A = this chain, B = another copy of it.
Amino acid sequence: MSVDLLVQKIKEKGNPSVAGLDPQVSYVPQYIRDKAYKEYGKTLKGACEAIWEYNKGLIDALYDIVPAVKPQSAFYEMYGLYGEELLHRTITYAKEKGLYIILDVKRNDIGSTAEAYSRAYLGKTDIDGELVSACDVDSVTVNPYLGTDGMAPFIADCKKYDKAIFTLVKTSNPSSGELQDLDNEGRHIFERVAQSVCKWNKDTIGKSGYGAVGAVVGATYPEQAAVLRKLMPKSYFLVPGYGAQGGGADGVRPCFNDDGLGAIVNSSRGIICAYKKGDWKEEQFAEAARAEALRMKDDLNSVLN
């Protein structure tokens, strides 16, 4: 009922970062694509087999230095049923390697439907008394637009199955402010959401001092992050926007607490497409990802120590 497992893995690796596995087929080195297309054609299956070899290479290169991976569901859903199968295969493989899985799905709905989503990823599906895991991960991202009804089933499953969620609070994209920055009686909407997160998190605090209800707080808005850190002291922050989206280590510092914990910073394209920058050969895509993950680790630790 907390993010204790994530905190433990972050401490073990000395690395508060997560590698985002957002693999469009165009990111995959051409020699891997060509091999897959030769066997399966330029089809959804061909794309997925290429991405699988890429994902596997990335995980093999990263699992001993990063605590967690974050597959972004959209980049699997876009390859249809083959993509869904690829997502499950990727999750299974990453779990075998000891990685903490944050599945980025940004789901939510009314209570009874949110319950189905929660069972899909955190809880278990009841088939006439048989409780079955449909797709078991450590945590998911959720959207707060529907209020407490939509959050409650996820929080219940966090408590029951020792899972965590990250609630969208202040997202990293340029237009995030359109809704999230609107004023409500002297506070921004994202602050109101943060107050709700703090309330939802309250009775889920674990040994690490952090609870099961975390927050997504973009690296691209450091001033807002500082405000949010105070409003949600016991929520873990999942921080997108570092690297490709423009956020740097200084920008993510406000997401952390004074204990050097409290946040895990995501990099997706920055890590998985690292081979496209500098003098790397395509065949070195995994090596390049590892080098970038290590650079990012040092970069983050430089502002934390």
Chain B nearest CB from A272 CB (Å) reads 13
Q: For the complex, what is the distance from the CA of A148 to the CA of B83, rounded to whole Å?
A: 27
| Contacts known (A42-B130, A110-B173, A127-B47); A120 close to B78, Cβ less than 8 A | yes
Interface 1/0 per residue, A100-122 and B, CB below 8 Å: 00001011111101101101110
Binary interface encoding of chain A residues 170-206 relative to chain B, with 1 for a CB under 8 A from any of its CBs, else 0:
0111111111101111000100110010000000000
Q: How far is the CA of A20 from the CA of B132 in the complex (A)?
A: 25
Interface size (A, Cβ < 8 Å)? 76
Whether B168 contacts A149 by the Cβ 8 Å rule is: no
Distance A246 CA – B270 CA, assembled complex (angstroms): 49
Most interface-central of A111, A119, A172, A240 (chain B CB within 10 A) = A119
Partner of A125, one of B22, B44, B145, B168: B44
Structural contact, A113 and B72, CB atoms closer than 8 A: yes
Q: How far is the CB of A181 from chain B (nearest CB, A)?
A: 9
A214 at the interface (CB under 8 A from B): no
Is the CB of A43 closer than 8 A to any CB of chain B? yes
Q: Verify B109–A74 contact, CB threshold 8 A.
A: yes
Give the docked Cα–Cα distance between A168 and B110 (Å): 11
Option from B125, B146, B184 in Cβ contact (under 8 Å) with A171? B146
A106 to B168, CA, bound (A): 14
Does A150 sit at the interface, judged by CB under 8 A? yes
B47 to A145, Cβ gap below 8 A? Answer: no
Partner of A146, one of B147, B173, B184: B173
In contact, B42 and A127 (Cβ under 8 angstroms): yes
Q: Which of B24, B84, B121, B127 contacts A81 (CB 8 A)?
A: B84
Assess whether B75 is in contact with A128, with CB atoms less than 8 Å apart.
no
Known A80-B134, A106-B108, A110-B240; further 7 A-B contacts with Cβ < 8 A: A42-B127, A72-B116, A74-B113, A77-B134, A78-B117, A80-B88, A81-B85
Sampled A-B contacts (18; CB under 8 Å) = A26-B128, A42-B129, A72-B109, A72-B113, A77-B116, A78-B125, A80-B120, A81-B84, A81-B88, A106-B107, A110-B245, A111-B173, A145-B171, A147-B173, A147-B178, A149-B174, A149-B176, A182-B184
